[in-house]
Amino acid sequence: MEDLAFIRQTMEQAGPFTAVPGYGGVAMGATALLAAFAAARQASAAAWTLIWLAEAGLALGIGAWTVARKARRASVPLWTGSARRFALSLCPPMIVGALLTALLWRAQLTGWLPGVWLLTYGAGVCTGGAHAVRIVPLMGLCFMALGAAALFAPESWGDAFMAAGFGGLHLVFGMVIARRYGG
């Protein structure tokens, strides 16, 4: 029995993280599109930023809940093996994004936030995706490409980039993940 437990543990640690939530991605995309619509109508940078920070918190909650739900249904342990590596790879770029957000906010350079957010989120998804199903790193690269484009585009296009990335990419990749990898 000990040998079987060892073999199971070794296989769990070696395989990809399969509890990436496709329908959770779709939900995150839908709420991001609503946030983009609301943020585009704000007159102040503070209100704009607050809407997107609230959306980030909502998306984090949706993602955590749907990952836990999918992992439970598939009997995939969270916090061991590939799930732990996924989370540990995702977090550093997110921390960098939070620090850069504070810096840009303090410097009153909020026009740079869409590019920075898309780039750091994409980097996190790409690095975390190295421990997940094959399509996740591709999604991260798409976020990074949009982020790079947003950095060099006119500031007024920021909401369109945010809608395309956090809304559109989550919807498209969420549907692909749900269809190919079971919800």
pLDDT (0 to 100) of residue 56: 96
pLDDT (0 to 100) of residue 12: 54
User: pLDDT for 78-88, tens place per residue?
Assistant: 777 767 777 88
User: How far does CA 162 lie from the centroid of its chain?
Assistant: 12
Q: What percent of the chain has pLDDT over 70?
A: 88
According to DSSP, residue 110 is labeled G
> Region 63-77: what's the mean pLDDT?
81
Tokens encoding 175: 């549907």
User: pLDDT for 1-27, tens place per residue?
Assistant: 676 665 566 555 555 555 678 899 999
Tokens encoding 120: 């750091």
Q: Which residues, other chains included, contact 29 with Cβ-Cβ below 8 Å and sequence gap of 6+? A: 166, 167, 168, 169, 170, 171, 172, 174
User: How far does CA 2 lie from the centroid of its chain?
Assistant: 37
Taking 60 as the threshold, does the pLDDT of residue 181 lie above it? yes
Task: Please give the angle made by the CA atoms of 14, 75 and 129, to the nearest 5 degrees.
Answer: 45
pLDDT (0 to 100) of residue 75: 75
pLDDT (0 to 100) of residue 19: 63
Q: Which residues, other chains included, contact 69 with Cβ-Cβ below 8 Å and sequence gap of 6+? A: 21
pLDDT (0 to 100) of residue 14: 52
* Helix ranges, 40-152 (H): 45-74, 81-106, 113-129, 135-152
pLDDT (0 to 100) of residue 5: 66
CA nearest neighbour of 82 among 12, 136, 10: 12
Whole-number Å distance between alpha carbons of 130 and 139 = 11
Taking 70 as the threshold, does the pLDDT of residue 108 lie above it? yes
- Which of 39-43, 66-70, 113-117 has the least mean pLDDT? 66-70
Q: Indicate the pTM of the whole model.
A: 0.86
Round the average pLDDT of the chain to a whole number and report it: 88
- With cut-offs at 50, 70 and 90, classify the pLDDT of residue 90: confident
